[in-house]
């Protein structure tokens, strides 16, 4: 007669769940856009989708707005008075952190035009 330890089976081998088998990924989604409304809409859709799937969500973290400025002379010849034009390009950035086993289900949402999405995936340690 063979004892339980000699058989090679452990008590927990049959009780493993699907969540334990799939590695949990740390997902960082970086969203950048020039239009704040579309950026906030994409953030809200991402967070709503993640909360429906009961995922751990951090964010959106609002990063500082980058302001790119260009100042040029209005007249091409330089003869008249010195009048300058000032142009600005504002780039808004949001970061969302998620913890999930399945990456595809989160990133398959519709994204507004003009919103750049960057997804970084790392294993949670």
Q: What is the pTM of this model?
A: 0.72
Least confident of 19-23, 48-52, 114-118: 19-23
Average pLDDT, the chain: 82
Q: Over the stretch 61-110, which tens digit does the pLDDT of each residue have?
A: 999 999 999 999 988 888 888 899 999 999 999 999 988 877 677 667 77
pLDDT at res. 71 = 96
Q: Find the distance separating the first CA and the last CA of the chain, reported in whole Å.
A: 42
CB neighbour class for 6 (10 Å; exposed up to 12, middle 13-18, buried from 19):
exposed
Where does the chain have alpha helices with state H?
A: 18-21, 36-52, 104-107
pLDDT at res. 124 = 63
Which CATH number fits the domain 30-74+84-123, given the four candidates 3.30.70.520, 3.30.365.10, 3.30.70.600, 1.10.357.10?
3.30.70.600
What tokens were used for 23?
């590695």
Query: How are strands ordered across the β-sheet holding 25-33?
Result: 56-73, 84-100, 25-33, 115-123
Domains of the chain by residue range: 30-74+84-123
């Amino acid at each position: 007669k063979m004892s339980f330890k000699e058989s090679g089976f452990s008590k927990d081998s049959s009780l493993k769940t699907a969540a334990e088998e799939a590695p949990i990924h740390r997902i960082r989604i970086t969203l950048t856009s020039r239009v704040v409304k579309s950026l906030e809409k994409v953030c809200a859709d991402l967070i709503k989708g993640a909360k429906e799937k009961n995922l751990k969500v951090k964010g959106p973290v609002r990063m500082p707005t980058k302001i790119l400025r260009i100042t040029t002379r209005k007249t091409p010849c330089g003869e008249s008075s010195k009048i300058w034009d000032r142009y600005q390009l504002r780039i808004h950035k949001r970061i969302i952190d998620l913890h999930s086993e399945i990456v595809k289900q989160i990133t398959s949402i519709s994204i507004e035009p003009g919103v750049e999405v960057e997804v970084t995936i790392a294993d949670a340690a």
